[in-house]
Structure 1
Amino acid sequence: MAQSAFSLNRPVSSNQFWLYSLLGGLYTVGVGYLISKVGAVGVVLAIGGPIAGALAVMVLLQPRVGLLLYVQLSFIVGFARFAQVDVPVGLFVDGLLALTLLSLFVNGQQMAWHRMRSLAFALIALWFLYTVIEFINPEAPYRPAWLYHVRPFSMHWFMVACIVLVAPITRNDIRIFVNSWLFWSFLAALWAFKQQYIGLTPAENQWLFEGGNAKTHILFGQLRSFSFYSDAAQFGAEMAGVTLVSIIRIFEEKKLTLKLIYGFLALVFFWGYAVSGTRSALFVLIAGFPFYLLLKRDIPKLLIGLAVAIPLFLLLMYTSVGSSNYQVQRMRSALTPMNDPSFILRLQNQEKLKTYLKDLPFGAGIGTSTDMGARFSPWHWAAQIPPDSWYVELWIETGRVGVSLYILMLLGLVGIGVYRVWQLKDPWLVKIMYAFLAEFVGIALMGYSNPVLGQFPTNSVVFISTLLVATCYRWDIAPPGAAEIATAHIYPLNDTDHEAI
């Protein structure tokens, strides 16, 4: 019987062997041809193609996998600038989000579509609808530029909102999201230290000097480290954000070991912020930490925080202690903006913009300012005045109606977040959501001076975290007396009770 079984199985194994050999041979020939035609790009495609195919299948099977890949890809985007081959990582992000949305419909019966009946989604959807209508803005000098700029403005946020609300995200997925954020940020800090104290790579030097970025990244002979992010401002904002998150975790963790780990991370991230030379990123901490203390509704800790913070600010504002250190001096200048020529120039530019935008309540059209304007309509006034601010950029492109709607959306999301967090009972969930919400408030305030809300990876983190906070009840502890449900951490018993907000 054993021999018979062996003989029955043998032809199948032989057929599989020849099939795999044929496929392997065809793949090898294809790779060789590809490399001979396109060189290094062929090597990347040969290695990355099968991996990308496997990941695409995983995303189609589980949309939450696509969301976690989106987080990783958002941090990898910056590497494309220093790659020796031209890799359209930004288009990969668009494709990944589109594939994840498709996965929602493929797995439609497992998705919680009712969660889209929420105020948070309505706010984001309203903003997205407004930007879609902006496509027909008659003032736009080059309408196709809309497609490039609407993605960071609203499209990605809308797509992420659909995925986060509908997909069965677990508590472990939130842990992966937070740990990925801290891991990539730690690598970014180390790379910035390498730039600051060892030197730049040839590709980084090329980006710095050929693109004119040296004017903003080398001040008084001192490099503003930018790590593998889009620029020093983006890097500084991210470092300030994760510094705030680490500080909050120090306060929230009970175990001494975890307090020490987050204390170490806070020091690393804070010095990463310092070597970025991004003065406005200080306001992520100035706004975010007091907001966290208000969320805690802990008056003693609020007083302790003020007792520690006020002397430090007075030391920076009214003394010259540490002025010999460039990073300390940059922080000090952030607290006295009217003594800063660049800040005064920003105010002068905003006065010019008032004249142009006086009769344009809907702005000049999406894609008319910053790099997109310089690329597609360099002759237009919107492309010739640097906004130097996320909100000013919105003002230029969507008008006072658009920027007002956007700010109301942000305030609405903060209000929803506060309401949700104050209802939580699970200590682990509380400390995570406190950190998300406080960091969001700090980044939103910093948006006045830098366009960080429209750049990777800050926008990706904000897009996900705001929706996690708005629906944090999904992972809270079950109400007393509720029946045990195996999937309580995904779909709690009282999920539908929260949809009105």
Structure 2
Amino acid sequence: MNGYVQQLKISVDRQTVLFAFLGALVALGTGLIIAERELKGAVIILLIPMALAVVFLCLYRPKLGLFIYLQYAFIVNGIQRFSPVVAPYGLLADGLLLLLLIGVVINYKQFDWKNLHNPAFYLILFWTLYTFLQLFNTELPVLGAWFFAVRAESLYWFQLTILGLVLIRTKKDIDTIFTIWLIWSVVAAIWAFRQRYIGLTAGEQQWLDAGASVTHVLFGQLRCFSFYSDAGQFGAEMAYATLLCIIRVLDERVLRVKLLYLGIGLIVFWGFAVSGTRGALFVILAGLPVYIILRRNFAILIIGILIGGSLFGMLKYTSIGSSLYEIERMRTALDPENDSFQVRLDNQKKLVDYLATRPFGGGIGSSGDWARRFTPNSFLAATPPDSWYVKIWIENGIVGLVIHLGMLLFFLALGIYNTTRPELATYAPDLKLLLLSLICGYAGILVACYGNPIFGQFPTNSIMSITIVLLCSTHVSRAYIEQEKKQVLQPQVV
């Protein structure tokens, strides 16, 4: 017995010495990093355990990892302005998606892979293959431009479609996504108010000074961009969130919930206003009529027409609020003679001649930011697309544009069909309301994409990818309806 105790003491002593030695090495390494890198070193040390936790969740709790990814999508483009550590934050999003895909493969027995048997999956797979075949386009500028640009045009979309179909399985999952979305929208709006009424941080001012002020400071007025990539992306997302809140206010029966959405709606609407993004107004003006038509409720129809008509009439035919820059900026969106709109039309006329002999376009990465980076002296790099559809047309040609538009419109039609099923209204009216608000926002974003290339930017690309999954799949609603039917048919115990 004494010998066993002695061996145990020796073992414990050895473990103590080993842990003490490792602890000393970690402490020494931490001290050296902080001493060498100062604040950056401290940030790195703090981020290491967080990064390990995220990796673990992505691999072994992929649904939680997906929720983390969606939150990261809101800050990925603006994080560089705040972080003292220079890093490829956009590529970190790629890493998260890859980890999530590995995670669902590792845990494949937990998921129903039959959910991939869905029109959205097959069509987006086809689109992804088309964009990869663009590698053989003789007009392709450089491989690097294709690599960076294809991520937003198809790769993120394809990966999120797989993850959404496999991981989103219950109404609670949809509620969680909806909550994440609205919370980050409110935070983004409040941050924009700080920019507008208090001032910019040093990193934000540096971003403007580096060239962004050309499009974000007009007539001495700042177009607020919050922590998004730019004001156009921020304004569109705020308009989408505003539309969701309008629909919830109109349909919600519980007064306190109705007031909550009203408050959120007012916050995000003013966030849209301070962005100075005129085209984003059409998210509301296009989405609201879709809601009115699909709702087929006379009272809601009258209220919706009054809200939409009043907003349109005030901006188009009155000078109400003209003393406020934000409202006057919105008003110019309804002026077809606007100089900015005419410049866009002139650019499109030039592109018609250039692309007439290029049915497959100039190659992915031949326009926009990546073209200015890799081929700055080319004609396409010097011609801003100013539209998601024009960008697709430039890079994928008329063939790619027809495929892309056809897919987007098919998803809209399929979403309407799935959302208007009678049993959904009977057994899951709350779920129907969620899906109805999403399809109206989706329709609004499709219209707004003509004015801004928002579909391919964070966080809208992630939101739209998940929206398409929810609209085109029925496995969540089927499971929820079956659950509700069982509760209705279950005998009551007296």
Q: Given the two structures, how large is their TM-score scaled by the length of structure 2?
A: 0.92
Give, in whole Å, the separation in 2 of the partners of 1:48 and 1:382: 40
1:311-333 per-position Cα deviation (integer Å, ceiling 9, x unaligned): 43223212222212111111111
- What corresponds to 1:94 in structure 2? 94
Give, in whole Å, the separation in 1 of the partners of 2:38 and 2:359: 51
Equivalent residue letter for 1:176: T
- What corresponds to 2:471 in structure 1? 469
CA-CA distance at 1:481 after TM superposition = 10
Equivalent residue letter for 1:435: S
Residue 460 (structure 1) aligned with residue 465 (structure 2) = no
Aligned positions of 1:265-414 closer than 5 A: 265-338=264-337, 340-414=338-412
Aligned positions of 1:19-418 closer than 5 A: 19-77=18-76, 78-167=78-167, 169-211=169-211, 213-338=212-337, 340-418=338-416
CA-CA distance at 1:15 after TM superposition = 6.3
CA-CA distance at 1:464 after TM superposition = 1.3
Give, in whole Å, the separation in 1 of the partners of 2:7 and 2:410: 68
Say if 1:120 and 1:412, in contact at 8 Å, map to a contact too.
Answer: no
Give, in whole Å, the separation in 2 of the partners of 1:136 and 1:30: 48
Give, in whole Å, the separation in 1 of the partners of 2:187 and 2:8: 51
- What corresponds to 1:497 in structure 2? none
CA-CA distance at 1:175 after TM superposition = 2.2
Give, in whole Å, the separation in 1 of the partners of 2:13 and 2:282: 67
- What corresponds to 1:438 in structure 2? 440
* Greater CA drift, 275-284 or 298-307: 298-307
- What corresponds to 1:487 in structure 2? none
1:185-213 per-position Cα deviation (integer Å, ceiling 9, x unaligned): 111111111111111112111111222x2
Equivalent residue letter for 1:91: L
CA-CA distance at 1:250 after TM superposition = 1.0
* Pair 481,92 (structure 1): closer, same or farther in 2 beyond 3 Å: closer
CA-CA distance at 1:156 after TM superposition = 0.3
* Pair 6,233 (structure 1): closer, same or farther in 2 beyond 3 Å: farther
Q: What stretches of structure 2 of length at least 5 have no aligned partner?
A: 488-494
* Pair 261,481 (structure 1): closer, same or farther in 2 beyond 3 Å: closer
Say if 1:111 and 1:168, in contact at 8 Å, map to a contact too.
Answer: no
Give, in whole Å, the separation in 2 of the partners of 1:15 and 1:359: 76
* Pair 481,15 (structure 1): closer, same or farther in 2 beyond 3 Å: same
* Greater CA drift, 306-315 or 219-228: 306-315
* Greater CA drift, 13-22 or 110-119: 13-22
* Pair 416,19 (structure 1): closer, same or farther in 2 beyond 3 Å: farther
* Pair 18,168 (structure 1): closer, same or farther in 2 beyond 3 Å: farther
* Greater CA drift, 463-472 or 66-75: 463-472
Equivalent residue letter for 1:218: V
1:352-376 per-position Cα deviation (integer Å, ceiling 9, x unaligned): 0111100101000000111100110
* Greater CA drift, 362-371 or 11-20: 11-20
* Greater CA drift, 286-295 or 305-314: 305-314
- What corresponds to 2:490 in structure 1? none
CA-CA distance at 1:221 after TM superposition = 1.3
The 3-state SS of whatever aligns with 1:152 is helix
CA-CA distance at 1:480 after TM superposition = 8.6
CA-CA distance at 1:244 after TM superposition = 0.7
CA-CA distance at 1:9 after TM superposition = 8.8
The 3-state SS of whatever aligns with 2:279 is helix
* Pair 8,165 (structure 1): closer, same or farther in 2 beyond 3 Å: farther
Say if 2:152 and 2:456, in contact at 8 Å, map to a contact too.
Answer: yes
* Pair 430,17 (structure 1): closer, same or farther in 2 beyond 3 Å: farther
The 3-state SS of whatever aligns with 1:382 is coil
Say if 1:420 and 1:473, in contact at 8 Å, map to a contact too.
Answer: no
Give, in whole Å, the separation in 1 of the partners of 2:164 and 2:91: 21
* Pair 250,408 (structure 1): closer, same or farther in 2 beyond 3 Å: same
CA-CA distance at 1:8 after TM superposition = 11
* Pair 408,32 (structure 1): closer, same or farther in 2 beyond 3 Å: same
The 3-state SS of whatever aligns with 2:380 is helix
- What corresponds to 1:490 in structure 2? none
* CA RMSD of superposed structures (Å): 2.4
Say if 1:64 and 1:169, in contact at 8 Å, map to a contact too.
Answer: no
Q: Given the two structures, how large is their TM-score scaled by the length of structure 1?
A: 0.91
Q: What stretches of structure 1 of length at least 5 have no aligned partner?
A: 485-501
How many correspondences in the alignment?
481
* Pair 167,305 (structure 1): closer, same or farther in 2 beyond 3 Å: closer
Give, in whole Å, the separation in 1 of the partners of 2:90 and 2:29: 27
